[in-house]
Chain A
Amino acid sequence: MSDAHPIAIRLRGVTKTFGKGESAVPALRGIDLDVPAGELTMLVGPSGCGKTTLISILAGLLSRDGGECTVFGQDLGALRRDRLSAWRRDNVGFIFQQFNLVPQLSVAENVSVPLVLKGESVAASVRKANELLATLGLEGRGKGAPLKLSGGQQQRVAIARALIHDPRLLVCDEPTSALDAELGRRVMNLIKDRSRRADRAVLVVTHDDRIFHLADSIAHVDDGRIDRIERGHQHAAPKELRP
């Protein structure tokens, strides 16, 4: 790891095996990885190499079998299940490959869910959701049904939902695979914007080589291990990190 960026996520010797005995599938065989804060990190690798398993563990969705996993100073293994759920609510934004927008709720209501989960009133949350939607080019769409939107618009709604509570960690699994090149680029730029702060980190799992150039670093995963880490194009350090 280069640069002076502080470490947002620290993984040491993380292992995970699914199943037991004969049918056991070792998905992670000892992952060492430091994700710097203020950056966009991509995880790439062949299908089945363990990318989804890895981000599930560091987002607090899945427990690891062995090793260490610290996210923004918090050892996830030390949290009980209910605390972990509250930790996710307060710290993580998710962007799924399937957008998972609830069809019976309006666009703005879908976006407001993380705030409502944090205890904010529905009215206030929906108002904030509409403001955020406007900045994502979805002005006036808040009241509509999510299924009436195009795929690209739905993904932007999903992104708004991931960002509305201003999470420190944003994890995305194949966020652009359902989008065309142009939309994918726009969506990634939105996501990248969010990483530019010292107390933020963005992790993106992707197969999509059209967006590789947006990464600050790319971690290549192979068969449950980090194969190599590639630093992306050098960029100016975010403002607050400059000496």
Chain B
Amino acid sequence: MLRFAIKMLFGDSAKFYGILLGLGFASLLIAQQASIFVGLMSRTFAFIGEVGHVDLWVFDPTQSYVDEPKPLRATALERVRGVTGVEWAAPLYKGLLVATLPDGSRQVCDVIGIDDDTLAGGPAEIVAGSLADLRLPDAVMVEVGSSQQQLRFPAELPPGAVPAPGQMLDPKGPKRPVEIGDIIELNERRARVVGLVKCSETFVAAPTVYTVYSRAITYAPPARRVMSSVLVKAVDGQDTDALAERISRETGLSALRPNDYSMRTLGYWMRETGIPINFGIAIALGFFVGVAIAGQMFYNFTLDNLRYFGAFKAMGASTPRLLGMVALQALVAGVLGLGLGLGAVSAFGLNAAGGKLAFKMLWQIPLIAAGAVLVICILASVISMWKVIRLDPADVFKGP
């Protein structure tokens, strides 16, 4: 009879596709919104991962997320270096500064200043040039990536050239990507591009500009010529947690492992912004759309077939057997609908990969979507099953 149950489901194509569409749409909405949410939220701490392997981040205790400008005193670096168990400590500058391009257009950049000596905290992926070139005069390395996150130069200006005196460049004219040798101004000070880097997308969609710490400080406006954080490497065999404790105690600053610092940043965005609520609403909407469309369609499908279930019951099919048929129909519809939805989300994700759209499908997300579809199917089939249980086999002799 189970085979017949499947045939009954597939045979009613209008309802079947309706159910599939409803479930597919629900799982699509749930998984896609959840993935975008995760993608977006992981951008809030993407920079911490970009900096790569350090043991501890030391920052102002009142700072709640990595981009929050809570400067450290100049003495912080020496004090951290003085703590036993610290192999080395490097200063880090991170701040938004305005870049002026040769055509006069302006662009906010996320300027990172890394330790002059060790170059610790540098970019993860260098596309052109070498990190050591950052020590050259006025040297910066800039991010190339999606067009939104890169500096665009006037096409008529060859790479490395400066406009002739009196030459006017049209800020609205055709553009080319930034190249090695190009000159920009950061806060009215000259900066020369010596390399190109790739960065993971961050929450602040501004192109990232790397330079050394000492130069970053000179680019910054006087009030902002301060250290953002200190990167710490522990001596071999040093327990990181114990070191973090010691640093906090001796300097009054906070020290966290990169992972914990990421979570602190994430926690801020989760708690203090409407982003989780907005996505939560979208995901809930997906769920209710699923219940409304697929659940109701499935219920209608069962209602349509009730007289046949009644006939089967009269012919001696036991109630558990009929319930098995309904359950199988719900299960098959659920699996196919889920597959459809997740397939669509994966296609969407592959399409979005590397683009500027935040999209990160953790392995938990398909499980969540599957759970939601399961709940929808159970809700729908339980109501349908109730109808089947209540079915009076004597009704088969009643008129239509």
Contact = CB atoms under 8 A, between A and B. Distances in A.
Nearest to B16: A104
Nearest to A174: B397
Nearest to A94: B314
Given A55-B397, A61-B396, A117-B315, A100 B308 contact: yes
A97 B316 contact: no
Contacts of B7: 104-105, 109
Contacts of B3: 122
Contact of A114 (B10, B305, B316, B393): B316
A105 B4 contact: yes
Contact of B308 (A61, A87, A102, A173): A102
B396 A96 contact: yes
A117 B312 contact: yes
Nearest to B11: A104
Contact of B318 (A82, A98, A109, A122): A82
B393 A61 contact: yes
Nearest to A145: B11
Interface in B1-23: 1, 3-4, 7-12
A94 B396 contact: yes
A52 B316 contact: no
Contacts, number: 83
A79 interface: no
A153 B314 CA distance: 22
Contact of B11 (A59, A62, A92, A103): A103
A68 B399 CA distance: 28
A113 interface: yes
Contact of B311 (A62, A86, A96, A104): A96
A103 B13 CA distance: 12
Nearest to B316: A89
Contacts of B205: none
B8 A100 contact: no
B318 A85 contact: yes
Contacts of A122: 3-4
A62 B12 contact: no
Interface string A68-107: 0000000000000010011111101010111010111100
B318 A96 contact: no
B14 to A, nearest CB: 12
Interface string B240-274: 00000000000000000000000000000000000
A17 interface: no
B312 A98 contact: no
Contact of A117 (B1, B394, B397, B400): B1
A49 to B, nearest CB: 14
A47 to B, nearest CB: 12
B21 to A, nearest CB: 19
The 9 A-B pairs at the shortest CB distance, nearest first, are namely A89-B316, A104-B11, A100-B311, A88-B316, A61-B394, A62-B394, A56-B394, A104-B8, A102-B308
Interface of A: 52, 55-56, 59, 61-62, 82, 85-90, 92, 94, 96-98, 100, 102-105, 109, 113-114, 116-117, 122, 173
30 contacts: A55-B397, A59-B314, A61-B314, A61-B393, A61-B396, A61-B397, A82-B318, A85-B316, A85-B318, A85-B393, A94-B314, A94-B315, A96-B311, A96-B396, A97-B399, A98-B307, A100-B307, A102-B4, A102-B8, A102-B305, A104-B7, A104-B11, A105-B4, A105-B7, A105-B8, A113-B315, A116-B4, A117-B315, A117-B321, A122-B4
